């Protein structure tokens, strides 16, 4: 009997340890580290098959319009890069366009050119947070997105803001990966920030940081998004309210990346509506 009890105790101990190990492994896969930034949390989505599988590779496209790549200094001793289209007349108003997980490809340059035409008097800077790398497959995009270090991306954004100048006014817009960084760009811009548009990007969850915003935010989200879902959006609204900041949220009956023409879940009608809302918002805050 004594031996039987000992065997049972050993089995229970082993089973408990195995369960704890299994739980720990599960947590490691699914729970985001508490110290991770909002953008790093979003980058971890690249490990999820549903996320990467929902992004078809972009069709080949070559941009041949106005604009040029520029280089500027960054605080980490390196150089930052961006695609710039200057206003036809001198201006201290800047719109920072931040790419999605593919990188600064020709589709983003085309998007930048469209805003140039629609917002005369505003300089457009499409930032390169991948330091020259561009993905053509979901696998490559996932690796690049996960490889972005918060410190480096921050240095690039600050470098671009310094390039614009101390008297410049900043607004930002971004999609997916770039949606989260659009909000971070607004935070980094301090009192020079006048507007921020984020398409289905990861919100900042630190209320103390949100208190530093100098502008309101326009958030364009998708109701069927599995990752930046309605619960995440609702929490963002609560956090902004707690920070004493204004956010205008529009949730569309669509899935993540609905505004991306190269995505199978693209919805032109909803994408056009979102674009018009973003454009009206940006025009109101970057008045010439």
Q: pLDDT averaged over consecutive 10-residue blocks of the chain (288 residues)? A: 43 40 33 64 79 76 95 97 96 97 95 96 98 95 95 98 98 97 98 98 97 98 96 98 98 94 88 98 92
Do 16 and 131 belong to one domain?
Answer: no
> Do both 226 and 115 map to the same domain?
yes
Do 87 and 114 sit in the same domain of this protein?
A: yes
Whole-number pLDDT of residue 9: 45
Domain that holds residue 19: 1-31
Q: 131 and 263: one domain?
A: yes
Cβ partners under 8 Å of residue 268, min gap 6: 261
pLDDT at 11: 43
154 and 141 fall within a common domain: yes
Closest CA to 128 of 186, 77, 82: 82
Q: Are residues 9 and 151 in the same domain?
A: no
Residue whose tokens read 């509506």: 273
Residue 283, pLDDT score: 97
Same domain, 152 and 170: yes
Instruction: Yes or no: say if 173 and 98 are a contact pair by the CB < 8 Å rule.
Output: yes
The burial class, CB within 10 Å (0-12 / 13-18 / 19+), for 37 is buried
Q: Are residues 140 and 182 in the same domain?
A: yes
Cβ–Cβ under 8 Å, residues 125 and 162: no
Total number of domains in the chain:
2
Alpha helices in the chain (DSSP H): 2-30, 38-43, 49-53, 106-118, 138-147, 150-164, 177-188, 207-210, 230-242, 268-285
Rounded CA gap, 122 and 288, in Å? Answer: 8
Residues 226 and 84 both lie in one domain: yes
Neighbours of 76 (CB within 10 A): 15
How much is the pLDDT for 259?
A: 94
Phi, psi of 191 (to 5 degrees): -70, -15
pLDDT of residue 186: 98
């Amino acid at each position: 009997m004594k031996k039987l009890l000992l065997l049972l105790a050993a089995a229970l101990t082993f089973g408990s340890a195995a369960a704890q190990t299994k739980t720990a492994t599960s947590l490691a896969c699914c729970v985001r580290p508490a110290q991770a930034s909002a953008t790093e949390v979003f980058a971890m989505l690249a490990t999820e098959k549903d996320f990467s599988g929902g992004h078809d590779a972009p069709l080949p496209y070559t941009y041949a319009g106005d604009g040029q790549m520029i280089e500027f200094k960054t605080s980490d001793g390196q150089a930052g890069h961006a695609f710039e289209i200057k206003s036809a007349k001198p201006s201290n108003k800047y719109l920072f366009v931040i790419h999605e997980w593919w990188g600064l490809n020709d589709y983003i340059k085309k998007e930048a050119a469209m805003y140039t035409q629609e917002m005369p008097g505003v300089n457009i800077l499409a930032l390169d947070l991948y330091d020259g790398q561009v993905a053509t497959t979901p696998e490559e995009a996932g690796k690049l997105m996960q490889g972005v270090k918060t410190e480096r991306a921050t240095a690039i954004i600050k470098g671009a803001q310094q390039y614009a100048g101390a008297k410049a006014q900043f607004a930002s817009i971004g999609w997916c990966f770039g949606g989260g960084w659009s909000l971070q760009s607004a935070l980094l811009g301090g009192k020079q920030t006048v507007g921020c548009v984020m398409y289905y990007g990861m919100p900042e969850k630190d209320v103390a940081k949100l208190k530093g915003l100098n502008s309101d935010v326009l958030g364009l989200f998708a109701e069927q998004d599995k990752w930046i879902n309605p619960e995440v959006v609702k929490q963002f609204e609560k956090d902004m309210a707690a920070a004493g900041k204004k956010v205008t949220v529009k949730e569309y009956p669509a899935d993540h990346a609905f505004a991306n023409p190269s995505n199978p879940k693209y919805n032109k009608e909803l994408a056009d509506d979102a674009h018009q809302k973003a454009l009206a918002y940006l025009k109101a805050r970057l008045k010439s």
